[in-house]
Each structure stands twice: as structure tokens, then as C-alpha cells.
Amino acid sequence: MNPAEAVNALGALAQGTRLDVFRLLVKAGPGGMAAGKIGESLEVPAATLSFHLKELAQAGLVEARQENRFIYYSADFEHMNQLLAFLTQNCCEGGGSCALPQFQAPSRTRQRAGTKRRGRQT
């Protein structure tokens, strides 16, 4: 990650609603959440949420995918790790004693509860 990318990501997170959305998506894991559920969880109107999700996506912090008529958003854990690595690369003068461990996101193949897989309810 270069300094311009880090500034872009940090700028996107430097707003309360976007920070809340990103933290919620990190908590949700790689399966992410439907846009409507994000709005309900954070009590953010749909139009406002759409604006903030667009900003986070442009900064590379979230990814979107469409499933049927719903759009699911998830944190981009690789980009998050790159940002953390950029911020801590010179920590403790490179000694590594305060370096953060890399987050390993669970596999995206895990099926969300309540969704259909091969004709069965999970």
C-alpha cells in the first residue's frame, strides 16, 4: 500500500457512520451483510447508507456482491490488512515487538443461516 492509498482509506474511515459500517462488516465476517440489514442494525436511512457504502467501496475497504435482488457488502480483509501493515511497518523501529498479527478471514464458502443450498434450508 502506498501513502495515497492509506490516506484514501483513512479518510473514508474518518467519518462516524462509515466507521460504524466498516466495524459492523468486519464483525460480520467474509459473508458480509445485506444492505438492508446494515441499515437496520445501525439505524441509518437507505439513501444515507448507500452514500457511505459507496465511499467505503471507492476506498477499497468494502466489496459488494449481488445475490438475487439483494446486495451484500463485506469488508475487504486483504485491504484492511494492507492498511494495518502500512501503519505498523516502522513500529518500534522495525523490531516487530508491537506488530499486529494478520487477520485471517474465514472462508467465504460458509453458507449463511437461512439461505438455500441445493434445495435444502440451512
Quick: pLDDT tens for 11-43. 999 999 999 999 999 999 999 999 999 999 999
Match 466489496 to its residue by C-alpha cell: 63
Q: What is the pLDDT of residue 105?
A: 62
Let me know the angle formed at the C-alpha of 41 by 74 and 28, rounded to the nearest 5 degrees.
Answer: 30
Q: What is the pLDDT of residue 120?
A: 37
Within a domain: 106: no
- What grid cell was written down for 39? 441499515
Within a domain: 78: yes
Q: What is the pLDDT of residue 24?
A: 98
| DSSP symbols for the chain | --HHHHHHHHHHHSSHHHHHHHHHHHHH-TT-EEHHHHHHHHT--HHHHHHHHHHHHHTTSEEEEEETTEEEEEE-HHHHHHHHHHHHTTGGGGT-TTPPPPP-PPPTTSPPTT-EETTEE-
Q: What is the pLDDT of residue 112?
A: 44
C-alpha–C-alpha distance, residues 31 and 110, integer Å: 8
Q: What is the pLDDT of residue 40?
A: 97
Containing domain of residue 80, as a range? 3-89
Within a domain: 102: no
Within a domain: 59: yes
For residue 11, give the CATH number of its domain.
1.10.10.10
Q: What's the number of domains the chain is made of? A: 1
Q: Which residues of the chain carry a pLDDT beneath 70?
A: 93-122
Report percent pLDDT > 70 for the chain. 75
